[in-house]
Amino acid sequence: MTSFRRLSILALLGGCFAAAGLAQLTMQLVPPTASGPVLGGVYISPYTALINGTPTLVICDDFETDVSLNTPPWTAYATTVSSLQGEVTPNNTLKYDNSPMATAATQQSQYTVAAYLATQILHEQSLGHTTAQGDLSFALWGLFDTSLSGPLSGGWVTGQDLTNAITDLSNAETYVSTHNLTPSNFANVTVYSPSPKSASQEYIVVTPEPSGMAILVVELSGLLAVVYAFRRRAAQSAR
């Protein structure tokens, strides 16, 4: 089957597309353009998907599942990464780290790293750093797929890109550990898991935090305070 993930560049079709609690939605992939960024014969994240009909940038964390132009819309469940905080058993809605041998701690750690990598991918895309964006995409895929034919096996990317992707994954895991990051640090990151799990790939959506708006509010508050003080002094001098 021709797939978005396992497709040569010449085919011009491929690529890995992939509120707390369970929100059931409908998802559908929007085919990438022929000029979309490609690395190792794979279209790299982010892609565009329709989530309940709304075009949304999505980042794939799933290298194991193939999708194609003919993949029909599927049901997905939305889980905020922060909702994993404090869970004592793995969240079975998520696609990874929920086997009988898995632990909630492992799942929380893995998805925290995934959330961190997803934010880095969007950051590099915003800067136009396509190579770094691709290397980070493979790093994210390698987080959950460690198979002998997986994204970091040397069969997809090689040379410096392979080295970069492996290093990116290692650096992300180290950063999360040394900075004591937990799922609670990523309330703005949501994982969209297909139901059934074989219906499609799993995707991550990063909602920009309103830091700019917060700064604007602080600046406006300061400005209003200055205006008020000026008016008060002007009123006093007129007495």
Task: Indicate if 153 and 233 belong to the same structural domain.
Answer: no
Q: What residues contact 95, with CB distance under 8 A and at least 6 apart?
A: 61, 62, 144, 193, 194, 197, 202
Q: Phi then psi for 236, rounded to 5 degrees?
A: -70, -40
pTM, whole model, 2 decimals? 0.81
97/108 Cα distance (integer angstroms): 9
- N- to C-terminal Cα separation, the chain: 85
Q: Which residues contact 178 (CB under 8 A, 6 or more apart)?
A: none
User: Are 229 and 174 in a shared domain?
Assistant: no
Give the structural domain span for 183. 9-208
User: CB of 199 within 8 A of CB of 74?
Assistant: yes
Is 40 among the domain residues?
yes
Tell whether 196 and 223 lie within a shared domain: no
The tens-digit pLDDT sequence of the chain (239 residues) is 234 554 333 333 334 543 344 678 999 999 887 778 999 999 999 999 999 999 999 999 999 998 877 789 999 999 999 999 999 999 999 999 998 889 999 999 999 999 999 999 999 999 999 999 999 999 999 999 999 999 999 999 999 999 999 999 999 999 999 999 999 999 999 999 999 999 999 999 999 876 543 333 334 344 334 333 333 333 344 44
Burial class from Cβ neighbours inside 10 Å (0-12, 13-18, 19+) for residue 20 reads middle
Same domain, residue pair 171 and 234: no
Q: What pLDDT does 154 receive? A: 96
Same structural domain, 162 and 222: no
Count: domains in the chain: 2
Q: Are residues 144 and 61 in the same domain?
A: yes
Cα gap 218→227, rounded to integer Å = 14
- Same-domain pairing of 177 and 230: no
Q: Evaluate whether residue 167 is within a structural domain.
A: yes
Residues 236 and 157 in one domain: no
In terms of domains, do 217 and 188 share one? no
In which residue are the tokens 């609690």 written? 21
Q: Are residues 221 and 126 in the same domain?
A: no
Are 201 and 231 in a shared domain? Answer: no
Calculate the alpha carbon distances from 170 to 201, 205, 222, 225 in Å: 24, 22, 43, 47
86 plus 172 within the same structural domain: yes
CA atoms of 6 and 21, how far apart (whole Å): 32
Q: Decide if 43 is inside a domain.
A: yes
